[in-house]
Amino acid sequence: MAAPPPLASNEAILAAEQAPLHKWAAESEWNAPMEPFTIIGNVHYVGTKTISALLITTPKGHFLIDGVVPQSGPQIAANVAKLGYKMTDVKYLLNSHAHMDHAGGLAGLKMRSGAKMVASAADKPFLEAGDIGHGPSGGVKFPPVRVDRIIADGGTLRLGKTILKAHLTPGHSPGCTSWSMTAAGKTVFYHCSASVAGQSLKPEAYPGIVANFRATFAKTKAMKADVFLANHDIFFDLHAKRARQIAGETQAFVNPAELQEFNRIMEDAFEQRLKAEEAKAP
Ligand SMILES: [Zn+2]
């Protein structure tokens, strides 16, 4: 059976890649270049200066997580090539969540790779609309990307000996998906994000946002990771670690305490924000 057609034409994707950056992207250097590098084992950083994209390579094909902004597709593809890999060997395209700064380049990456797009059921409609549809990012459009396969909480994808596991960590988006894997004997965890990011908690930006955040904090408290990765540089101190790695520290990205430190910071910020909004609400 022939694959269903893409939701954005090649012309529309190329036009979005050439379009001026959204003001948030320009202000926060979301599309500024960064040299690609290997984080640990077969896990590589192919994102921009401030937003992550991860390439996980295997002899049986590769995983590519996140597409950054719509203009980032060519840069990510060039980064994959710089590391000596082929975009056409990318078999699975994954996403942390359906905001423009992490999903924007996915359609362009799918166009270049032919990979299967795998996402949570709750974020699928937003990826396919090219718009999260609520909160401050609602109406900030990106080229829509067809989701070929839905992944549930605890679901896995395998290429060669590498297994990626999906952890649904909703809150920041309804279908926010974190990913874990083992690389070089270490547990690697890529966090979807747990920041409120200007979304209203009272009234709820989407139904269930408060319960989602609380369930995600409870769930991730029980988790352990040797290597904590996230989708904005500031969440995991990307540049300081990379500088230490360049200086010769091979385990610069290994810190088993970091996931729980991140959880604590995010949970405190969430509860404070909720209290402030409840105090203001009638
Ligand atoms: Zn987001």
Q: DSSP per residue over 164-177, as a string?
A: EEEEE--SSSTT-E
User: In whole numbers, what is the pLDDT of the chain averaged over residues?
Assistant: 97
Cα-to-centroid distance, 106 and ligand 1 (Å): 15
Q: State the distance from the centre of ligand 1 to the C-alpha of 4, rounded, in angstroms.
A: 28
In the prediction, which pLDDT does 154 show?
98
Q: What is the pLDDT of residue 1?
A: 66
pLDDT of amino acid 68: 98
**Residue 163: per-residue pLDDT:** 98
Q: How does pLDDT run across 213-266, given as a tens digit for each residue?
A: 999 999 999 999 999 999 999 999 999 999 999 999 999 999 999 999 999 999
Beta bridge mates, 144:
none
Sign of CA dihedral 87, 111, 71, 101: negative
CA of 160 to the centre of ligand 1 (A): 31
Q: How far is the CA of 28 from the centre of ligand 1 (A)?
A: 13
For residue 40, the CA-to-ligand 1 centroid distance in Å is 25
Domain 10-280 has CATH 2.60.40.2470: no
Q: Give pLDDT, residue 4.
A: 84
Q: Distance from the CA of 50 to the center of ligand 1, in angstroms?
A: 13
Q: How far is the CA of 151 from the centre of ligand 1 (A)?
A: 19
β-pairing verdict for 43-45 and 90-94: unpaired
In the structure, what pLDDT confidence band is assigned to residue 2 with cuts at 50, 70 and 90? confident
**Rounded to the nearest whole angstrom, what is the distance from the C-alpha of residue 250 to the centroid of ligand 1?**
30
Q: List Cβ neighbours of 22 (8 Å cut-off, separation of 6 or more).
A: 69, 100, 140
What pLDDT, on the 0 to 100 scale, is given for residue 265?
97
Rounded-to-10 torsion of CA 250, 254, 100, 158: 90
Structure-token match 């012309």, residue found: 11
Q: How do 186-191 and 162-168 pair as beta strands?
A: unpaired
Q: Give me ligand 1 centre to Cα 14, in Å.
A: 23
Query: For position 57, what pLDDT does the model report?
Result: 98
Q: State the pairing for strand pair 177-183/162-168.
A: antiparallel
Q: How far is the CA of 247 from the centre of ligand 1 (A)?
A: 32
Which residue has 């769930």 as its token pair? 219
For helices 73-82 and 106-113, what crossing angle results, to 10°? 50
Residue 264: which H helix or E strand, with range? helix 258-280
Mean pLDDT is lowest, of 1-5, 82-86, 120-124, for: 1-5
Give the Å distance between the CA of 197 and the centre of ligand 1.
Answer: 7
pLDDT of 170 over the 70 cut: yes
* 64's tokens: 């590519």
Domain ranges of the chain: 10-280
Look at residue 280 and tell me whether its pLDDT is greater than 80.
yes
Residues 242-249: contacts with CB under 8 Å, at least 24 apart: 242/37, 242/45, 245/37
Pairing of strands 43-45, 156-159: unpaired
- 171 alpha carbon – ligand 1 mean position (Å): 10
| Cα-based torsion angle of the residue sequence 234, 107, 9, 86 in order, rounded to the nearest 10 degrees | 120
Residue 281 has pLDDT above 80, yes or no: no
CB 212 within 8 A of CB 135: no
- Write the pLDDT tens digit of every residue in 32-49: 999 999 999 999 999 999
- % of the chain beyond a pLDDT of 90: 97
Q: How far is the CA of 86 from the centre of ligand 1 (A)?
A: 28
**Per-residue model confidence as pLDDT tens digits over 188-202:** 999 999 999 999 999
Pick from 111, 98, 102: which is nearest to 25 by CA?
A: 102
Question: pLDDT tens digits, residue range 90-113?
Answer: 999 999 999 999 999 999 999 999
